[in-house]
Amino acid sequence: MKVCVFGAGALGGHLAAHLIAANQCEVSLVGRGPMLAGIRERGLTLQTGGKEIGGRPAAATDNPASLPPQDIVFTGLKAHMLPAAAEAIGKLVKPDGTVVVLLNGIPWWFNYGMGGERGKQGTLPLLDPDGGVWKHIRPERVIGSIAYSPNAIIAPGVIKHSLQNRWVFGEPDNSSSARLAQVAKLVGDSGIETKATNDIRSELFRKAIGNAPNNTLCALTRLDTAQIASDDSIVKLAIGIINETVAVAAKLGFDLRKEINAAEMATRSRGRPGMRPSTAQDAMAGKSLEVDGLLGQTQVFGRELGVPTPVIDVCYALMRGLNTASRA
């Protein structure tokens, strides 16, 4: 079986290292810059649980057209990078192959497989402005995924993982398919804790409820998660983002209000100094930022459904300004 990780950054590289070490499939990587150079020179190394795993992939390239058709493509790109790569990904995966979308926040395929009017609406324009991701990758080939796995690139070709490592996979139509079982088994057999779910969107919102405040507020302040959780004024903003996201999710039909304690979630990281989520890492490195999937699409849903999002409105505007500055 041929498997490609398209976007060999911190999260994609983590998965690739596990798959290479397990040696259960032919693993290729698509990357760029110093990370790709490091992988080509020395292979891919993941530091996790007090040990190092990884090795050399079958191929590591910045030209996906040089690879043979793939049975499974895991997209490790962030949401704002996908439109530019969608055509290449669509051509890389076999016509009957699978694309496993690893993303934070709301994904472009969100409406696919849902009932009612929303299921007829197609792609989300904020995340897929010209519809190219929907057209080229095609939502019927997609398996959704959520990764609870903090990682950071510490040197070209070297990734450091800490804390939890749990990955959840699900079909957009909430079915229990053979390909869903195949993906969960492939990743699980590589040493990662996995779960197949029949309610992938609820899981997406569970992750977003934690990701949206931490990624946003750490990026805006440059503070780590422990400092954010220890500042009462910033905690109030985190609680606002959490409660607004929960309210939007409930209005969409994914009611998590009974299981989410916003105050507890906003202060959970007090004992974890030094941790910065991926958006904060990108902001500090002057990279383009993941903004629309974490905050923007929630705002759009809120306006469509009549759910006020005053804290998200302010933070989203600030994050868009920060992203403009980062790009400049």
Residues acting as catalytic residues: 207
Please tell me whether residue 160 adopts helix, strand or coil conformation: strand
State both tokens at 56: 């050399």
300: left (phi over 0), alpha (psi -120 to 50) or beta: alpha
Phi, psi of 114 (to 5 degrees): -85, 155
CB 188 within 8 A of CB 194: yes
Rg (CA), the chain: 19
H helices within the chain, ranges in order?
10-22, 33-42, 82-92, 132-137, 178-189, 200-221, 225-229, 232-252, 262-266, 278-284, 297-305, 310-327
CB 322 within 8 A of CB 265: no
Question: How far is residue 101's CA from residue 134's CA, in Å, rounded to a whole number?
Answer: 12
Write down the residue that tokens 């609870």 correspond to.
Answer: 148
CB 64 within 8 A of CB 30: yes
Q: Judge residue 12's burial from the number of C-beta atoms within 10 Å of its C-beta, 0-12 exposed, 13-18 middle, 19 or more buried.
A: buried
